[in-house]
Amino acid sequence: MIRQYSLPNILKGENDTMLTFAEFFAGIGLMRMGLEKQGWTVAFANDISLQKYEMYRTQFLDAEQHFLLDDINNITPQQIPHVDLATASFPCNDLSLAGGRNGINGTNSKSFWSFTRILEGMGEQRPQLVIIENVIGFLKSHNGMDLVTALQYLCRLGYSIDAFVIDAAHFVPQSRPRLFIIGSVREPYFDEAVLQVSDTRPKDLVAFIKNHKNIKWNIKRLPTLPKNSNLLPTVLEDIPNDHPEWWSTDRAAYLLNQMSYRHRLIAEYMISNNTWSYGTVFRRMRNGKSTAELRVDGIAGCLRTPRGGSAKQILFKAGYGKYFVRLITPRECARLMGANDYCITTARDQALFGFGDAVCVPVISWIAEHYLDPIIHTLIQESTNQQVLV
């Protein structure tokens, strides 16, 4: 039996339903951008970061009407309007290798429980859908028990669960695999025929689902992800070679000398070509030594927050016997996140911090089109039918 919820919106016509959402851990609003492209409307947004809010309100001129700048721990369920969907891209610090794998009860990632506290407090007014986004390390955090605990709690709140992985590289030239969890108020239904290894459900995720059948799963068949043909050069700004954005000769040479023998050979080959080619570089510690690792497959590495020098992604341009080095610009970061026209007025590090902590816009739009929209319209129709019967 479908769980009874009062409808947050009035069906104004067969295809004219206003779909609303509350965006927790909103950051600079890229979740909003992705959902808005599919016709969703933001009713509430929250984040603790003033730096991110400054970017958000520059991009979205209506921010003061719905954005609450505060610690999620201070928010009460009564402050949340009645919406169809709640989104949560909660901090990944403790679920990633860089964060020490402290888990979902770690200093930052434990804010997930503040989100679920709000959902629980909303009672029968809680959203019919939730979408949670985080790094794929969540899947194996504490041998999978962090994810099990989180999903079981959502189930106790009345949600059945689906999960899938999407790499932003299917939409933009950036490698950014992320785990998405969907909770819906529909009755659980487990069909192993639907649960196959695919581009959205890798082997590890399929194994996790099969090994935890006590969770109230509701696995939906998903279409194949698109193939992105736009490579790194399509997002680069046209910056002249004599522009001060490019590093000095000495600084560029230092980076080249930090490359391993194999990566140095690739760089030298690029330099010797009679055409310009591009790669991206991250600095990493290998055997106690800082090394520069070059990627040249046309896909940028995953954007990060610039909390240290190694977190800043570097562009390597080479050809005609020359090479040039600079940092990826904020505008290039926006394009790598599918937010091409985002209004950027802040300093570089502030912009990189905002984009590095965000979601990829076209990924969210794809999820809305192929997952959220069909389910929410079905839920609304089912609720309407049941209210008529009553």
Give CA–CA dist 104/187, Å, rounded. 27
pLDDT at 10 over 50: no
Q: Residue 100: pLDDT band by 50, 70, 90 thresholds? A: low
pLDDT tens digits along 270-299: 999 999 999 999 998 887 788 999 999 999
Please give the pLDDT value at position 107: 60
Least confident stretch, 29-43, 135-149, 305-319: 305-319
Give CA–CA dist 181/170, Å, rounded. 19
Please give the pLDDT value at position 337: 98
pTM score, whole prediction: 0.91
Average pLDDT over the chain reads 90
**Does residue 271 contact residue 318 with C-beta atoms inside 8 Å?**
yes
CB-based contacts of 26, cutoff 8 Å, min separation 6: 32, 45, 46, 47, 52, 56, 67
Please give the pLDDT value at position 189: 86
Domains plus CATH for the chain?
19-227+355-389 (3.40.50.150), 238-328 (no CATH)
Please give the pLDDT value at position 5: 39
Q: Residue 6: pLDDT band by 50, 70, 90 thresholds? A: very low
Residue 107 neighbours by CB distance under 10 Å: 12
pLDDT at 8 over 60: no
Give the pair of three-digit tokens for residue 49: 């970061």
